[in-house]
């Protein structure tokens, strides 16, 4: 017994010794590669070309467009619920418990936060999904840029993306104005002044967009509300569907 196991060990050692010096596996691999690359009729797939075991393991950043879209869906659902309770009226009135000068928009925010069941959670979800969407859209744009996915034939989808980025920022800005608090007013004043600085049509554009120029009237909240809940969602939904339809038609780009 002992003699045969020794013989076996010697065999293994000899075979091992030869294998160490004349490895066979790489030659087999080379043959397989030659057949797969030179003889094949089909173009190599992305996973084959870059020798990836799974694409998702290596490319989590390719999910950022999808994350932007999921955030938008969450914003739509929570936004619809908030719309049941929010009052888009920013005009100052004597409304508070001790005849405070305040506005109905801010009062409705207090109502959502303190009295509506789960209201503060729905508002919190809307708030954080908005933050996540802005970050995801920006990082998605960076991913597209650094993988060179904006190049031919995807130039049009890049331009569509630029418009989507602007819409996302406008969503954030118009939403920030809706609570009717001091922060909203500060941001609205900056917006009014920026609109008025437009050459030639500044004052007219400011009156149209904000309802007034110079002084901040509560009308601006109604205008921004209509932009935030109707015009922007309509345009953004159409463009997002178009954007993702183009990805579907053209396929996701391989890195250059």
Which parts of this chain interact with ligand HEM (CB under 6 A)? 62, 64-66, 68-69, 137, 140-141, 144, 149-150, 154, 157-158, 161-162, 164-165, 168, 240, 243-244, 247, 252-253
Task: Name the residue number minimizing CB distance to ligand HEM.
Answer: 161
Please report how close the Cβ of residue 161 comes to ligand HEM at its closest, in angstroms.
Answer: 2
- Which residues neighbour 167 within 8 Å (Cβ) at sequence distance 6 or greater? 232, 235, 236, 239
What number of other Cβ atoms are within 10 A of residue 25's Cβ? 8
Nearer to ligand HEM, 205 or 252 (CB): 252
Helix axes 64-83, 232-250, angle to 10 degrees: 150
Q: How far is the CB of 245 from ligand HEM (least distance, A)?
A: 10
Least distance from C-beta 15 to ligand HEM, angstroms? Answer: 49
**What are the structure tokens assigned to 8, written together?**
């076996």
Which CB sits closer to ligand HEM, 104 or 140?
140
User: In terms of Cα–Cα distance, which of 130, 131, 159, 136 is closest to 61?
Assistant: 136
Cβ-based nearer residue to ligand HEM, 67 or 205: 67
Q: State which residue, 36 or 155, has the beta carbon closest to ligand HEM.
A: 155
Nearest to ligand HEM of 14, 142 (CB atom):
142
Distances (CA, A) of 90 to 170, 179, 182, 204, 238: 19, 9, 12, 21, 30
Least separation, in Å, of the C-beta of 224 and ligand HEM? 20
Q: Which of 61, 79, 66 is nearest to 133 (CA)?
A: 66
Q: How far is the CB of 214 from ligand HEM (least distance, A)?
A: 35
Kindly tell me which of 6 and 55 has the beta carbon lying closer to ligand HEM: 55
Residue 96, sorted as left (phi over 0), alpha (psi -120 to 50) or beta, turns out to be beta
Angle between helices 202-210 and 182-196 (to 10 degrees): 150
CB of 249 to ligand HEM, least distance (A): 11
Cβ atoms of 123 and 84 closer than 8 Å: no
């Amino acid at each position: 017994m002992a003699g045969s196991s020794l013989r076996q060990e010697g065999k293994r050692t000899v075979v091992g010794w030869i294998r160490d010096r004349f490895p066979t596996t790489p030659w087999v691999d080379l043959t397989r590669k030659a057949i797969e690359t030179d003889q094949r009729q089909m173009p190599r797939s992305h996973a084959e070309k870059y020798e990836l075991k799974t694409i998702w393991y290596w490319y989590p950043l390719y999910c950022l467009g999808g994350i932007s879209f999921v955030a938008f869906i969450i914003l739509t659902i929570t936004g619809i619920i908030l719309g049941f309770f929010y009052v888009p009226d920013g005009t100052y009135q004597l409304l508070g418990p001790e005849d405070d000068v305040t506005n109905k928009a801010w009062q409705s925010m207090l109502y959502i936060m303190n009295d509506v069941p789960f209201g503060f959670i729905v508002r919190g979800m809307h708030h954080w999904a908005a933050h996540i969407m802005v970050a995801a859209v920006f990082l998605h744009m960076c991913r597209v840029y650094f993988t060179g996915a904006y190049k031919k034939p995807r130039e049009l989808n890049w331009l569509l993306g630029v418009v989507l980025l602007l819409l996302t920022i406008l969503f954030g800005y118009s939403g920030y104005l809706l609570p009717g608090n001091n922060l909203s007013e500060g941001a609205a004043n900056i917006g009014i002044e920026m609109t008025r600085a437009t050459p030639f049509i500044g004052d007219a554009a400011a009156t149209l967009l904000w309802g007034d120029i110079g002084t901040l009237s509560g009308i601006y909240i109604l205008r921004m509300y209509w932009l935030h809940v109707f015009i922007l969602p309509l345009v953004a939904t159409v463009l997002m569907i178009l954007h993702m339809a183009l990805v579907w038609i053209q396929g996701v780009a391989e890195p250059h």
